[in-house]
């Protein structure tokens, strides 16, 4: 299994990845996590400001695979049960549509349920000490894994990734130390991208203000 030589960060920017040791240790995703479908809502989701459950939808995942839990829609009681609640450490994978992204839940998502557009990946007990959820989400979003998913997608009007296909994704497992390094580099790259976008926005505002003043003085 090829190990990526570059990291894809925010804004689809690529930069050299740290050397992944233990490259011979590769498992399929299904050996690392349990995979279940999100909650199959019937019809349109009706928001309820004081609802008991918070709903994670595809629209809540940004282009850079970032999830804002504070903006989730709430709904009233539904036939969900505790087995549909997502937990801190789970990884959500968008299984339907053009976006095949993964996002790790790094904070406790109180009373949150993912819709049926997601697969919920939960680390198996024997994987929790050797695989970081953040690393797993990062790897799924890399070109090597995305190529595998693209080659196995089904459906034309609504592209889909099946559970068996996802479970068969080969995942290299470097040391925990290397996984932490990869996750930290990705975090820093995302922050750099945010700062670059903020600088661009302020430069644009400054240029517009200068232009308007120049017009007024003319």
**Which structure tokens are listed for 146?**
């995305």
> What is residue 196's predicted lDDT score, i.e. its pLDDT?
73
Both structure tokens of 129:
């000490």
Q: How many domains does the chain have?
A: 1
Instruction: Classify residue 84: in a domain, yes or no.
Output: yes
- Give the model's pLDDT for residue 10: 43
CA distance linking residue 123 with residue 58, whole number of Å: 22
201-218 average pLDDT score = 79
Q: Report how far residue 179's alpha carbon sits from residue 174's, in angstroms, rounded to the nearest whole number.
A: 6
Over 50: is that where the pLDDT of 105 sits? yes
Between 1 and 155, whose confidence is greater? Answer: 155
Does residue 202 sit within a domain? no
Average the pLDDT over 71-82 and give the result: 77
In angstroms, the CA 218 to CA 214 distance is 6
Q: Cα–chain-centroid distance for residue 94?
A: 8
pLDDT mean over 27-53: 90
pLDDT of 64 reads 84
Which CATH number does the domain housing residue 59 bear?
Answer: 3.90.220.20
pLDDT of residue 15: 47
- pLDDT digit string (tens) for 78-92? 775 567 899 999 999
Long-range contacts of 177-181 (CB under 8 A, 24+ apart): 178/18, 178/19, 178/20, 178/21, 178/22, 179/131, 179/132, 179/134, 179/135, 180/132, 181/18
- 41 pLDDT higher than 90: no
66 part of a folded domain: yes
Considering the domain boundaries, does residue 133 fall inside one?
Answer: yes
Residue 161 placed within a domain:
yes
CA distance 184 to 178: 10
104 domain residue, yes or no: yes
Q: What is the C-alpha separation between 117 and 97, in angstroms, rounded? A: 8
Does residue 103 fall inside a structural domain? yes
What is the pTM assigned to this prediction? 0.78
Residue 13 included in any domain: no
The stretch 98-103 carries a mean pLDDT of: 94
Q: Provide the domain limits for residue 41.
A: 22-174
pLDDT in tens, 151-209: 999 987 889 999 999 999 999 999 999 999 999 998 877 666 666 767 888 888 787 87
Inform me whether the pLDDT recorded for 26 exceeds 70.
yes
Tokens of 154: 């089904």
């Amino acid at each position: 299994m090829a190990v990526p030589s570059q990291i894809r960060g925010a804004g689809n920017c690529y930069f050299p990845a740290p050397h992944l040791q233990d490259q011979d240790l590769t498992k399929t995703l299904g050996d690392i996590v349990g995979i279940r479908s999100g909650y199959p809502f019937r019809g349109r989701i009706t928001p309820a400001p004081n609802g008991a459950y918070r709903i994670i939808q595809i629209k809540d995942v940004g282009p850079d695979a970032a999830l804002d839990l504070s903006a989730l829609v709430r709904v009233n009681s539904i036939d969900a049960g505790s087995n549909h609640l997502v937990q801190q450490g789970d990884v959500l994978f968008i299984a339907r549509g053009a976006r095949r992204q993964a996002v790790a839940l790094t904070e406790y998502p109180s009373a949150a349920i993912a819709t049926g557009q997601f697969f919920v990946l939960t680390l198996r007990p024997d994987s929790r000490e050797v695989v970081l959820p953040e690393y797993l989400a990062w790897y799924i979003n890399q070109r090597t894994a995305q190529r595998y998913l693209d080659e196995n997608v089904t459906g034309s009007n609504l592209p889909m990734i099946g559970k068996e296909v996802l479970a068969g994704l080969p995942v290299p497992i470097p040391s925990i130390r290397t996984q932490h390094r990869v996750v930290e580099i990705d975090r820093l790259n995302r922050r750099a991208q945010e700062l670059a976008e903020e600088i661009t926005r302020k430069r644009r505002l400054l240029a517009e203000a200068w232009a308007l003043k120049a017009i007024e003085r003319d």
